[in-house]
Amino acid sequence: MKHKRRRYIIDTRLQVRYALLFVIISLISNLVAVAAFNSLAIKQLDTLLWSTHISISSTDELVRPVFIFVNAANFIVVAVLLLLTGFLMIKKTTGPLIRMSRDIKKITDGDLTTSVVLRQKDDFKDVAQELNTMTGQLRVRFADLKERYSRISGPIQQLGNKAVSKEDSVKTYDAILREIEGLESELGRLEK
């Protein structure tokens, strides 16, 4: 039986979606910055060509202020867009995690009837499904333990009763020991 490693907390589709968004925002902003720089530089050069007085010694003096302005504006726009995208990403992942945490706390407190429920578009549905499967299995195991306990408690009460014959007492005692050994092995598996 092959076991594949599952990625529950890290949803690769979510990561790819946001990584692509960051790349697209960066590319678009760089294209806008280059276009703005070229446009402003050409405008500055045209103004300089038609002016009668040239007071610069190199094109660096002419282009540097435009270059600094365009890149500073680009940096601010990209930073704001990336902060908004990061905020949206955090908001999208935090809600399901908070709801899952609330339901897990109920399960931890012993309410095995609780199911981890997420909304239609929430991420982490795989984790919620696995938690629900685990809760269902725990519910079945505890029901089995309760049923086994009831099978033992009746014969123990009979043993306490003096009306049972010695031969019946030995048989009942042996049956109780077998049940107790079975319960011990089941509890041992639960502890692992």
Q: Is the pLDDT of residue 28 over 80?
A: yes
**For residue 51, which phi and psi values (nearest 5 degrees)?**
-85, 155
Give pLDDT tens digits for 33-81: 888 887 877 777 777 666 656 666 666 677 778 788 888 888 888 888 8
- Using left for φ > 0, alpha for ψ between -120 and 50, and beta otherwise, residue 124 falls in left
For the chain, give every domain's residue range.
Answer: 8-109, 124-192
Half-sphere exposure of 173 (CA within 13 A, CB side): 10
192 Cβ contact list (under 8 Å, min separation 6): none
b/e code 131-168 from CB counts within 10 Å (16+ = b): bbeebeeeeeeeeeeeeeeeebeebeeeeeeeeeeeee
Give pLDDT tens digits for 141-154: 888 888 887 777 77
Look at the pTM and tell me if it is higher than 0.85.
no
95 Cβ contact list (under 8 Å, min separation 6): 122
Query: In whole angstroms, what separates CA 17 from the centre of its chain?
Result: 15
Q: What is the pLDDT of residue 12?
A: 66
- Select from 132, 133, 137, 176 the least CA-distant residue to 154: 176
Give pLDDT tens digits for 83-132: 888 888 888 788 888 888 899 898 888 888 888 888 877 777 888 888 89
Q: What is the pLDDT of residue 17?
A: 76
